[in-house]
Amino acid sequence: MARLKLKEHAINREWCKGCGICIHFCPKQVLELDSMEKVVAATPEDCICCKLCELRCPDLAIEVLTDQDEKND
Amino acid sequence: MSVKDYLRERYFPHMWCPGCGHGTVLNSLLRAVEALGLNKNDIVMTSGIGCSARISGYVDFHSLHTIHGRALAFATGVKFSKPELKLLVPMGDGDALAIGGNHFIHAARRNIDMTAIVMNNRIYGMTGGQFSPLSGLDKKATTAPYLTIDNNFDVVELARAAGASFVARTTTYHALEAVDLLKRAIDHKGFSVVEILSQCPTHFGRKNKEGDATNMLELYKANTAKLGSKALKENPSLIARGIFVDETRPEYCEAYEEIIQRATGGKR
Ligand SMILES: Cc1ncc(C[n+]2csc(CCOP(=O)(O)OP(=O)(O)O)c2C)c(N)n1
Ligand code: SF4
Ligand code: SF4
Ligand code: SF4
């Protein structure tokens, strides 16, 4: 499998409830809560595109967009 | 199709509390449906009442939000009249196994082709944290301030004994596994049951000092193990995850079609 390259974390701030699940279980500590208790990608350069944040988010508020997704669209 | 194409985005953000596992069940289910490439016009979701049951409002399939405990009864009616449709039936543990327990065992006994998903948070979330038949011993609930004395059902053993031909269990921590099990359950011809342990931080978590949603997921990780794993062999008190039953058995709608053919001498 070719390594996925990150384009961006698409975060829906209206939907995110700041539960912290994605932050806690990110293997690379990429994510954090901002002052509004919404998730932001603080160190996107460390992201390995495992998409675990996207899979576990109870609010469907975070999407990990990669170069692969672009080709598939 | 992307996952969002199966959502009714106009109802978001959804009504579930921050960190509620039911949202992750929705997430996993949509990914399973997407991976199977199902047409949303071929899917019917029926649900009863409960926080869990609200899931049917968020999916862009045909949906029936019905009455407490009767999601499988309505699903049976739909499936029996239109066997070509895919039936998805998510239920809370109270919905499925307290008030709906009878419907559950009889749908399993008939082996009617549908996918029952038990979103098991071990409590009545919607009505304020009463204990359920899945709470188990020594738990706190609004109706058990001095701890429960009721034994719990084991969803897997109950479904197996009642005749379900596909039975699996996972948790909201194991989201990739949940997608895989849901795919296989939906693909299975016959009555399939997927139990997904789903955290209710607001009631079960708070009353039983299990911490926030994140901590409850840590507990799913620590307290469960894959069927056949070394971890499970070494510590049988862990909750087993995986596929417990996967058998091919006569399906109810097909058997009924044969009866129709017999009764009409094949003229239908
Ligand atoms: C016939 C009937 N009895 C009782 C109720 C009250 N009631 C609503 S939801 C619910 C239980 C919800 O628990 P569960 O099914 O486990 O779902 P959760 O909210 O935890 O997801 C009850 C008892 C009802 N709506 N209808
Ligand atoms: S898991 Fe989802 S809702 Fe929770 S903080 Fe992350 S993006 Fe927000
Ligand atoms: S894709 Fe993986 S590494 Fe990247 S932010 Fe999400 S959980 Fe962290
Ligand atoms: S009360 Fe519990 S089950 Fe209901 S939405 Fe809140 S966390 Fe989820």
- Measured in Å, residue B184 CA sits from the centre of ligand 4 at 27
Mean pLDDT score of chain B: 97
Which helix (H) or strand (E) element contains residue B259? Answer: helix B252-263
Distance from CA of A20 to the nearest CA of B (A): 7
Q: Measure CB to CB from residue A55 to each of B13, B20, B175 and give the nearest one.
A: B175
Split at pLDDT 50, 70, 90, the class of A60 is: very high
CA-CA distance, B159 to A52, in Å (whole number)?
30
B236 Cβ under 8 Å from any chain A Cβ: no
pLDDT in tens, B204-252: 999 999 999 999 999 999 999 999 999 999 999 999 999 999 999 999 9
Token reading at B75: 């699903």
Partner-chain contact A55 B27, CB within 8 Å: yes
Res. B25: pLDDT tops 80: yes
Chain B closest-CA separation from residue A24 CA (Å): 7
Q: Specify the pLDDT at position A71.
A: 58
Contact state of B175 with A60 under an 8 Å Cβ cutoff: no
Residue A42: name the closest of A55, A29, A52 by CA. Answer: A29
**Within 13 Å, how many C-alpha atoms sit on residue B6's CB side?**
27
Contacts of B134 (CB under 8 A, 6+ apart): B93, B94, B97, B120, B122, B152, B153, B155
Which ipTM score applies to this complex? 0.95
A2-11, B25-34, B69-78, B170-179, range with the lowest pLDDT: A2-11
Q: Which residues contact B116 (CB under 8 A, 6 or more apart)?
A: B72, B89, B91, B96, B104, B107, B159, B164, B191, B192, B193, B194
Which region holds residue B214: left if phi is over 0, alpha if psi is between -120 and 50, else beta? Answer: alpha
Instruction: Report the length, in residues, of chain B.
Output: 268
Picking from A14, A17, A56, the nearest residue to B175 by CB comes out as: A56
Domain layout of chain A by residue ranges: 6-64
Beta pairing class for A6-11 and A62-66: antiparallel
C-alpha closest to that of A7 among A57, A53, A41? A41
Torsion-angle region of B265 (φ positive above 0: left; ψ -120 to 50: alpha; else: beta): left
> What is A6-64's CATH number?
3.30.70.20
Over residues B39-65, the pLDDT tens digits come to: 999 999 999 999 999 999 999 999 999
φ/ψ of A11, rounded to 5, equals -110, 125
Give the number of other CB atoms < 10 A from CB of residue B82.
13
Banded pLDDT at A1 (limits 50, 70, 90): low
pTM of this prediction exceeds 0.90: yes
Ligand 4 nearest-atom number relative to CA B22:
8
Residue ranges per structural domain of chain B: 3-264
Place of tokens 């909750």: B239
Q: What is the pLDDT of residue A2?
A: 66
Per-residue H/E/C for B25-89: HHHHHHHHHHHCCCCHHHEEEEECCCCHHHHHHCECCEEEECCCCCHHHHHHHHHHHCCCCEEEE
Tens digit of each residue's pLDDT (9 = 90 or more) over B101-151: 999 999 999 999 999 999 999 999 999 999 999 999 999 999 999 999 999
| B266 pLDDT more than 70 | yes
Q: Taking the domain B3-264, which CATH number applies?
A: 3.40.50.970
Q: Which residue among B4, B23, B31 sits closest to A59, beta carbon to beta carbon?
A: B23
Whose CA is closest to B116, among B143, B96, B141, B101?
B96
Nearest CA to ligand 4 atom 6: B17
* Among B144, B3, B29, B175, residue whose Cα is nearest residue B91: B29
